[in-house]
Structure 1
């Protein structure tokens, strides 16, 4: 069984990235894992780097 999808939240603005949903506006297909997003990716709302996101429990 595969790992459950996770949700990641920007520490600066609160934008959330849900692995299960992806983000079509960012070119990220549903099911795209956080680890598969490039390290130089930034928050589409405020420009915060990927390293400043936290995994959250919903």
Structure 2
């Protein structure tokens, strides 16, 4: 998970029937993912604003 592998891919690989099993088992390995997602979305939003202003 630290290498950017998506939880759904891990679910399939381990044969979990439900994504909740995967997330409940390995979710602790994602402590910073929420922050990373927020930063990525903010950067994209800012880039979109720059593009709108230059048009």
Q: TM-score, normalised by structure 1?
A: 0.28
The structure, 1 or 2, with the larger RCO (C-alpha pairs under 8 Å, 6+ apart) is 1
* Rg larger for: 2
Q: Which structure: greater helix fraction?
A: 2
Q: Which structure: greater strand fraction?
A: 1
Q: TM-score, normalised by structure 2?
A: 0.29
